[in-house]
Amino acid sequence: MSHKIKALQEELAQAEKVWGPLAESAIASFTTLVSVHRLSVVAGHLLYLNNHWYVTHAGLLCLANRRRCAGIRVWTVRAFCNPAAGRWAFRATVYKSRTCRGFVGYGDADPSNVSALVRGAEMRVAETRAVNRALRKAYGIGLCSVEEIGTVPIPAEKFPPQKVNGNSNGNGSGPKVRDRLCQIIRQHKLDPELVKAYAVDFCGTKSLREASREQVENFVHQLADWAGKDRNALLCQLNSYSHPKQEVVA
């Protein structure tokens, strides 16, 4: 058995482990994505949502790096931006080589087309969408990227107040909340570091230690609810914290 066939079988096994048995059409598309573009489920490059494959930002960046992308330029389209309203639009140009004239993609975001969980981060979402579209054009990826679609917003709910016993001063997150968070991470096989980064962003603090008990409780409850209802969308959200977004000039 060749290395490529073995790798493909391993990727397919992982995909069906996460999303269950796949239809023949989905397997055919998956085979092309893995064999031709060398995208990987294991590495978080692909997601299967509502019977459709989506490529992730991480997958596109990995593909660009492997193909020796010369650079990416990103700038705002000021005519379509309104910071006060949280409305942003970006233009991205991908240069496959130093002589390439560039592949252009546009991305926009505002509170109406992003998840409630990333409200306030519309600028970053718009930038990512623009880069993704430019990369998909440059490297012939017909799939929509998962960052270009909205996720189903899940309203945050608060935990009922917990009694403070002699082992807790009530200022930190408390052992019960920490234990619950660890349980969620283990149960749904989440990356602890990405969950931590998401928690800091969710609480709006510089570090998790600075977050109040109520903020941490809300985050843990939200995480559990989202993981139970739509783990794929949650993984997409967590993956957005795996790579810093930066501009590379050719």
Beta bridge partners of 145: 55
Rounded distance between C-alpha atoms, residue 181 and residue 164, angstroms: 18
| CATH class label, 63-152 | alpha beta
By CB atoms closer than 10 A (0-12, 13-18, 19+), residue 18 is: middle
Confidence of residue 118 (pLDDT cuts 50, 70, 90): confident
Q: Residue 158's closest CA among 217, 236, 74, 100?
A: 217
Contact 170, 176 (CB under 8 A): no
Which ranges of 45-189 would DSSP assign to H, the alpha helix? 57-66, 122-138, 174-187
pLDDT digits (tens, 9 = 90+) for 126-141: 999 999 999 999 999 9
Percent of the chain with pLDDT over 90: 44
By CB atoms closer than 10 A (0-12, 13-18, 19+), residue 216 is: buried
Secondary structure letter of residue 246 according to DSSP: -
In the chain, domain spans? 3-48, 63-152, 174-229
- Determine the distance from the C-alpha atom of residue 102 to the mean position of all C-alpha atoms in its chain, rounded to a whole number: 26
Task: Match 């718009």 to its residue by tokens.
Answer: 126
pLDDT digits (tens, 9 = 90+) for 154-208: 333 333 444 444 444 344 445 578 788 888 888 888 888 888 888 888 888 888 8
Question: What is the pTM for the complete model shown?
Answer: 0.60
How high is the pLDDT of residue 115? 79
Contact 195, 152 (CB under 8 A): no
Q: Residue 221's closest CA among 165, 155, 175, 164?
A: 155
Rounded distance between C-alpha atoms, residue 179 and residue 193, angstroms: 16
Contact 43, 228 (CB under 8 A): no
